[in-house]
Amino acid sequence: MQGMNVFQQNVQYLKGVGPQRQLQLQKLHIYTLFDLLWHLPRQYEDFSQLQTPEQMREGEMTFCKGEVLQIVKNRTARGMFIVRAHLLCENSVITAIWFNQPFITTILKEHETIVLKGRVRRMGARIEIHVAHYEKSEHHPLSEGLLPVYSLSEGLNQKKMRQMMQTLLQTYLPAYPEILTKAIRDQEHLLDIHTAWRQIHFPENNMQRAQAHKRLALEEYLLFRLIMKKDEGFKPPKQPFATLWPEEDPLTLKIKQRLPFRLTDAQERVIQEIREDMRKPYAMNRLLEGDVGSGKTLVAAFSMLMSKARQTQSALMAPTEVLAIQHYRFLEKLFHGAPILTACLTSSTPAKERDSILEALEDGSLDILVGTHALLQEDLNFFQLGLVVIDEQHRFGVRQRARLSSKGQNPDVLVMTATPIPRTLALSLYGRLSISVIDELPPGRLPIKTKYLPRRDRVQAYEFVRKRIQQGEQAYVICPLVEESEKQDLLDVHTLYQELFERYGADFKIGMVHGRMSGEEKQQILEAFHRGEIQMLIATTVVEVGVDVPKATVMVIEHAERFGLSQLHQLRGRVGRGDQQSYCILLGEPANENAYQRLLAMQNTNDGFKLADLDLKLRGPGDFWGVRQHGIQDLKILDFTQDQQVIECAQRIFPWLEDTLDIGLKETYLQLKFPYLKEIAVN
């Protein structure tokens, strides 16, 4: 076996890896030698930075080394275990402390030397360290330089992981293929691939680590471009349509004229972009980005009218039943009296109704089908599906989108999202996808006023809400959990309902909605809220996407620190949908700097694009969409927000690489690197 094929082998081929170790590695999604090599250190410990007791500062993190003199285990009155180890560090004794990890006593032995990292507490002359990370010093194969720290699974430790990496590098690294020539490497000041691999796992210093990072980030990005490029040139032909409708067909015009408001310029522009795409002989694949409340549903509606005008059917898929029904109602109202047949299909549609919908769908009398995942069912056949619209696309996987499209012959596809993809990412991610942006809100919208309050000010927050409600407005209260949970000290909807009901039940009507309710129950509550019969709605994130009640002007989010930025922004988007001033109060107890920054960002901006960019920075691209669908979670090293230079370098090299890379190697490499994306490309 040669070259990349070597790395396709199962990890068990590595010396020292038996069935048990193999299972431990699988838990880390490591199956092949390739996966193991790409299991990069999540951080490095710098042994040149060991501190002596004199250098340790109160409250700061320290990194030190000491011999274990004595180990003591205690239990507090509240049942918490505290393990203390007295260590001889230089010539002083310091105390390392572990909370709630009683098993430490079975691992540590007296007279052993350990290195540890933790926060310093100075109590007079005594020094305590609250341990964050520790290792036995014998686990360190190197005495100098940076030591890799890997993500582990149960049964593994850093020493074993490092040993495996060493063996892997020694045994197999020479087989790893180099895809860049020496000339190119010299020109771009790049390491050869073998040196890069050695230095990313075992760098001697930060400079070596940075050089290795650059080469491997580039390697990764080049491969990523290769796989994305695959479908760039491919333009799937549509079936020929009977008519190419004129600039604007009479029905569309009529519906537009009777709207109670005018379309915004941005909506007009985007509709025009879609119109042009839809007239082309090959399928549209367009992403519509628009901040919450920017009026994407209307754009979808006009696109479906175009589809009707050329005598094809449309499907609109939404991630929740609540949203699907809302869209359906919206369309019914918009098309009122016009000769357009619309239906809604969800998993709770009664069998008989479902049968007649399916029939109308198949004989072509149904023009528009709105629904949830229920639209993906096997027995659903369109007469001629010409347009697929997917709302809140980040809630769906690539395969689900593909499944709906496959019900037609290369239909036009419009996917909509309020979670904008930061530009750097969008450019790299999508070859063939065009992007339309609604960068304007309907006129008269006032920016939502957002305030972050610590939890101790809760009562004050609810008093504010009470006042707004007494002015005739409506409020959402968002809460992260449905039921009381022992593990987490979080408020749940039921407890909150009790609390608020006792306080305000006599003053106004309070409702509750959450994911454990049946579709019908949810619907009834939301409709009552819509009609103004409920003034305060306590909800979980079931209202996160799309719910449109323009008279709701206040939102309180409990435990706001629990939510990601994009999610907070989506939630907040439920208010500020009319022309009244709206408010959002974030109650929270941020546990770290990162969480605090998120809350501040929410307070300071209403701009979804800015928040998305920041979210990407704070969370990294892997977490960004939460769903395994974009392949970016397979990017192990490239950081879109930091590696701008690498991306520029790749731009220069890419055309050359495309021409020179061996086809066989390319296939194997991509298959190994992006197993998931590969699957999509095939579908």
**Which residues make up the interface to ligand ADP (CB under 6 A)?**
261, 263-264, 267, 290, 292-298, 418, 442, 546, 548, 550, 577
Of these partners, Mg ion, ligand ADP, none, which one is at the site of residue 118 (CB under 5 to 8 Å by kind)?
none
Q: Are residues 274 and 299 in contact, defined by beta-carbon separation less than 8 angstroms?
A: yes
Q: Kindly tell me the number of DSSP H helices and DSSP E strands found in the chain.
A: 25, 20
Count Cα neighbours of 218 within 13 Å in the Cβ-side half-sphere: 29
Of these partners, ligand ADP, Mg ion, none, which one is at the site of residue 577 (CB under 5 to 8 Å by kind)?
ligand ADP
Could you say whether residue 408 binds Mg ion (CB under 5 A)? no
Q: Collapse the DSSP code of 556 into the 3-class scheme (helix H, G, I; strand E, B; otherwise coil) and give the result.
A: strand
The H or E element spanning position 583 is: strand 583-588
Could you say whether residue 573 binds Mg ion (CB under 5 A)? no
Of these partners, ligand ADP, Mg ion, none, which one is at the site of residue 569 (CB under 5 to 8 Å by kind)?
none
Q: Considering beta carbons, is residue 66 or 573 the nearer one to Mg ion? A: 573
Rounded to a whole number of angstroms, the minimum distance from the CB of residue 536 to ligand ADP is 21
How many Cβ atoms sit within 10 Å of the Cβ of residue 261?
A: 10
Rounded to a whole number of angstroms, the minimum distance from the CB of residue 538 to ligand ADP is 22
Of these partners, ligand ADP, Mg ion, none, which one is at the site of residue 326 (CB under 5 to 8 Å by kind)?
none
Which residue, 173, 311, 321, 306, is CA-closest to 246? 306
Q: Collapse the DSSP code of 488 into the 3-class scheme (helix H, G, I; strand E, B; otherwise coil) and give the result.
A: coil
Q: Which region, judged by CB under 5 A, interacts with Mg ion, from 144-152, 493-501, 540-548, 559-567?
A: 540-548
Give residue 208's Cα distance to chain centre. 32
How many Cβ atoms sit within 10 Å of the Cβ of residue 360?
A: 17
Q: Considering beta carbons, is residue 53 or 295 the nearer one to Mg ion? A: 295
Q: Considering beta carbons, is residue 255 or 288 the nearer one to Mg ion? A: 288
Q: Collapse the DSSP code of 475 into the 3-class scheme (helix H, G, I; strand E, B; otherwise coil) and give the result.
A: strand
**What one-character-per-residue DSSP string does 293-320 give?**
TS-HHHHHHHHHHHHHHTT-EEEEE-SS
487 residue type, one letter: K
Q: What are phi and psi of 575, to 5 degrees?
A: -105, 175
How far apart CA 513 and CA 540 sit, in angstroms, is 7
Could you say whether residue 546 binds Mg ion (CB under 5 A)? yes
Of these partners, Mg ion, ligand ADP, none, which one is at the site of residue 550 (CB under 5 to 8 Å by kind)?
ligand ADP
Q: Which region, judged by CB under 5 A, interacts with Mg ion, from 357-365, 460-468, 546-554, 635-643?
A: 546-554
| 195-234 footprint of Mg ion as x/- string (CB under 5 A) | ----------------------------------------
By DSSP bridging, strand 146-149 and strand 92-99 are unpaired
Q: Considering beta carbons, is residue 62 or 294 the nearer one to ligand ADP? A: 294
**CA–CA–CA angle 288, 291, 296 (5° rounding):** 50
Rounded to a whole number of angstroms, the minimum distance from the CB of residue 392 to Mg ion is 7
Rounded to a whole number of angstroms, the minimum distance from the CB of residue 374 to ligand ADP is 21
Q: Considering beta carbons, is residue 442 or 480 the nearer one to ligand ADP? A: 442
Rounded to a whole number of angstroms, the minimum distance from the CB of residue 546 to Mg ion is 4
Q: CA 641, 645, 649, 652 torsion: positive or negative?
A: positive
Q: Collapse the DSSP code of 449 into the 3-class scheme (helix H, G, I; strand E, B; otherwise coil) and give the result.
A: strand
Of these partners, Mg ion, ligand ADP, none, which one is at the site of residue 307 (CB under 5 to 8 Å by kind)?
none
How far apart CA 233 and CA 675 sit, in angstroms, is 22
How far apart CA 128 and CA 93 sit, in angstroms, is 10
Rounded to a whole number of angstroms, the minimum distance from the CB of residue 294 to Mg ion is 9
Q: Which region, judged by CB under 5 A, interacts with Mg ion, from 190-198, 480-488, 541-549, 651-659?
A: 541-549
**What one-character-per-residue DSSP string does 666-679 give?**
HHHHHHHH-HHHHH
Q: Considering beta carbons, is residue 193 or 416 the nearer one to ligand ADP? A: 416
Rounded to a whole number of angstroms, the minimum distance from the CB of residue 323 to ligand ADP is 9
How far apart CA 239 and CA 139 sit, in angstroms, is 65
> Taking CB positions, which residue lies at the least distance from ligand ADP?
295
Rounded to a whole number of angstroms, the minimum distance from the CB of residue 260 to ligand ADP is 8
Q: Collapse the DSSP code of 576 into the 3-class scheme (helix H, G, I; strand E, B; otherwise coil) and give the result.
A: coil
Q: Considering beta carbons, is residue 408 or 442 the nearer one to ligand ADP? A: 442
The residues pairing with 335 across neighbouring beta strands, listed in sequence order, are: none
Of these partners, ligand ADP, Mg ion, none, which one is at the site of residue 292 (CB under 5 to 8 Å by kind)?
ligand ADP
Rounded to a whole number of angstroms, the minimum distance from the CB of residue 526 to ligand ADP is 14
The residues pairing with 15 across neighbouring beta strands, listed in sequence order, are: none
The footprint of Mg ion (CB under 5 A) covers: 546
